[in-house]
Amino acid sequence: MSNSRGTLQVAPDLSDVFSEIARRYPRRPAIVQQGHALSYGRLHELANALATRLGDDPGTVAVPAAHSPETVVALLGVLAAGGAYCPVDPAFPAPRQEAMTTAAGSRTAVATGTPLAPQLGLGSVELPAPSELLGAPPGTLPARRAGTGPERPAYILFTSGSTGQPKSVVTPRRAVSAAVHSLRELFGLTPDDRVLQFASLNWDTCFEEILPALTTGATLVLDPDAHRGSFPRFLRMVERERITVLDLPTAFWHELVLHLAEDRLTLPGCVRLLVIGGEAAAPARLADWSALDTGRIRLVNTYGCTETTLITHAVDLSGPGAPGRSWDGTTRAPIGRALPHVVEHISEQGELMIGGPAVALGYLGLPEATAARFVTVDGERRFRTGDRVRRAPDGVLTHEGRLDGEVKVRGIRVDPAEVEAHLTAHPDVTAAAVTAATLAGRSALVAYVVPRPHATTAALGAELLAHLRERVPGHLVPSRVTVVPRLVFTPSGKVDRAGCHRRYATPHDQVGGDLR
Amino acid sequence: MSTDTTTPATPDDVVAIFRRVLQREDVAPDSDFFQLGGDSLIATRVLSAVARAHGVELTFDEFLLAPTPDGLAQRITAAR
C-alpha cells in the first residue's frame, strides 16, 4: 500500500470565511444575473436574515434548486444557521422528491419562487425578499450556533443506490471548508475573477463554482444563455459577462470543443481557467483543443467523489500550467495529483482510497452501505472510491477502471442496479440489464429487458421509458430500451451487462466515425 | 458547410442532421429526436449544425417544443 500525506491544517469554517469576505468587500458584486448585481453586503444580510428565520440548528433544510440567486442565498443562509442544505430539483417527479426529503430526514423547506411538490408536507420558511431588508444592517448571529461544529452536516446529496431508492451522502462542514480552501488555491482566484455558475444546483459541482468564488470576493455570474444549448449564444455570453473561470462537465466540454474545432474558434480572451471533470477527457477532444488557439487558457482536469467532497485530485492538462505537455489524440489524460487537504492511499488491488478531512460522514440511515465503503485502516477513516488508479513517480494518477458495476453517464455516477430495479418493477418485465455504452460519441445508458410471457412487446420500450420518466430523474432514464428474448450470463451465472450490450447492440452502434 | 440564409430549411435537411448526429439511419420527418435516443447534450450538435447551415440560433427549449425534422424545419423557416 502506498500513500501520500498532505499538510493537514484545519481550515476555518466556510460560513466564517464568507462573513469575513462580505465585511471586507460589502460593495463588490457577489452575484450577477442579467445586469442585476447582488453585493456582498446584501447577500450577507439576506443569508443571515434567512438563518435567523430558520432558527438555531434547523436540521436538514430542503431547498428548491434552480439557477437563481435565491438558491445561493438559501445555501448560505442554511449554512449560517448550522443546518444541512439539501437541494431538491422542483422538476424531479414528485415521488422522487418525496423519497429524497424522506431519506434526508428533512422537516423544513425554504420557500422560493419555484416551489417543491406540495405533498412533501414540509414546514416552510420564506426566503427574505431583497426589498424587505433594504439598508438593514447585516444581522448578527450568535457567535457559536449548535449546528456549526466541524463534524455537523453541511449538505446532503444523493447518489445512485442499488435498491432503487436514493442513497444520501452526508458531508460535514470540515470537509467542505477544507476542500474549498484547497480549491481557492488551485484556481488561483482573486476578487477580480468572474466565475460562471453552470452546474446544476443538485450536484456538488455547483459548490466548486459558488463557494471558492464567494469566499474570495470574486463574482458569481448566473445567465440563462449558459443553459440554452446554443454554443454561439454561450460564447457571446462568456464574452459579454467577461467570464474568467469556467467549470464545465467534461461531456459538455467535449461538445464545446467539437463546436470550436468545426468553426476554428477559441474561447473569448477573458477566459483564463477552464476546469473540467466528471468523466474521462476524450484524447481526440484534447488533441482538438490543443490544435486551437488555446495556449493561454489553463485547462485543469479534476477528479473527486461526492463521498470525498468536490475535488480531491487535479492536474493542468494544457496552457500556462502545463508547459511541454502535448496531446496527440492517443494518450489518456491523467486525473491529477492529491490536493493539499487529501490523504491518498492505493491498495494492493490498485483501488484509490481517500482519507483526511475530505471524507464524508456516510450514507444517512444506511449503516451497512456505509460500512462497505467507509473503512477504518490503521486508525484512519478512509473512503473506498471503487476506482482503480496507477500513480506516476510525480504523484499524478491515471484512472484504470472501476472495481464495481457503477458507471458514469455524463458525469453522474449511476448504479445500473438502481435502474434495473425500476424496470423490473414494471408488470410486463421479468428481467433487465442496464449498462453504459458509447452512443454517437457520448456516454449513454442502455437497457435490455426481457418481457413477461404473453406481454405485448411492440410498444414496451416506449412504455418503459414513460414509466421511468414518471419515477426517476432524467439521468437514470436510459437513452434506449431494447426488448430481448433473454439476458446474457457469465459462466458463473451472473448477468453479464456488457455481454448483453455486445450481443444485442445494433451494428451502427459499433461505428465510431466523425462526430460532427 | 456555409451559412445559407436564403434557402428555407426542408424536413429532409433536418433528417440528414438527425442521422449524422444520432448515427442512425431510421430517421423519418416525424421522428422524435428524444425517442431516438437523443438527449440535451447531443441536441447541442443539432443546434450548432442548424446555426451553420441556416444561420438560425435556436435554443434547447425551442427544440423541445419541436423535436422532429418536420417541426424543426418549420421553426427554422419561421425564425429567418
ipTM: 0.85
Alpha helix (H) residue ranges in A297-415:
367-373
Cβ-based contacts of A516 with chain B (< 8 Å): 20, 45
For residue A474, the model assigns a pLDDT of 86
Residues of A with CB under 8 A from a CB of B: 227-233, 251-252, 255, 258-259, 262-263, 410, 439-442, 444, 462, 465, 479-480, 506, 508-509, 511, 513, 515-516
Residue B22 in any domain: the answer is: no
Report the phi/psi class of residue A476: left, alpha or beta, with left for phi > 0 and alpha for psi in -120 to 50: alpha
Residue A380 in any domain: the answer is: no
CATH classification at residue B41:
1.10.1200.10
For residue B80, the model assigns a pLDDT of 79
For residue B1, the model assigns a pLDDT of 46
Say yes or no: A330 and A413 in one domain. Answer: no
For residue A513, the model assigns a pLDDT of 36
Residue range(s) defining the domain that contains residue B62: 27-79
- Cα angle at A301 between A299 and A302, to 5 degrees? 140
Cβ-based contacts of A255 with chain B (< 8 Å): 41-42, 44-45
Residue A402 in any domain: the answer is: no
Say yes or no: A73 and A187 in one domain. Answer: yes
Q: How many domains does chain B have?
A: 1
Mean pLDDT for B52-66 is 92
Residue A374 in any domain: the answer is: no
Residue A16 in any domain: the answer is: yes
Say yes or no: A163 and A73 in one domain. Answer: yes
Place of cell 444561420: B55
**From the first residue on, what is the mean pLDDT of each consecutive set of 10 residues in chain A (516 residues)?**
54 94 97 94 94 92 93 96 94 88 91 79 83 58 75 92 80 97 98 96 92 98 94 96 96 93 93 94 93 96 96 97 88 95 94 97 94 94 95 94 83 87 90 88 89 84 90 89 90 85 73 37
Residue range(s) defining the domain that contains residue A192: 2-135+147-338
Beta bridge partners of A5: A343
Strands (E), A364-458: 374-377, 380-391, 397-402, 407-409, 412-414, 429-439, 442-451
Q: What are the Cα distances from residue A320, in Å, to A84, A301, A335?
A: 38, 14, 18
Beta bridge partners of A351: A388
Closest CA to A72 of A24, A27, A33, A115: A33
Contact B41 A442 (CB under 8 A): yes
Residue A303 in any domain: the answer is: yes
For residue A327, the model assigns a pLDDT of 92
Residue B43 in any domain: the answer is: yes
Residue at which a domain ends, from A304, A338, A372: A338
Q: Produce one character per residue of A147-184: b if its CB has 16 or more CB atoms within 10 Å, e if not.
A: bbeeebbbbbbbbbbbebbbbbbbbbbbbbbbbbbbbb
Say yes or no: A196 and A301 in one domain. Answer: yes
Q: How many domains does chain A have?
A: 2
Residue B12 in any domain: the answer is: no
For residue A159, the model assigns a pLDDT of 84
Residue at which a domain ends, from A310, A338, A366: A338
For residue A2, the model assigns a pLDDT of 47
Residue B65 in any domain: the answer is: yes
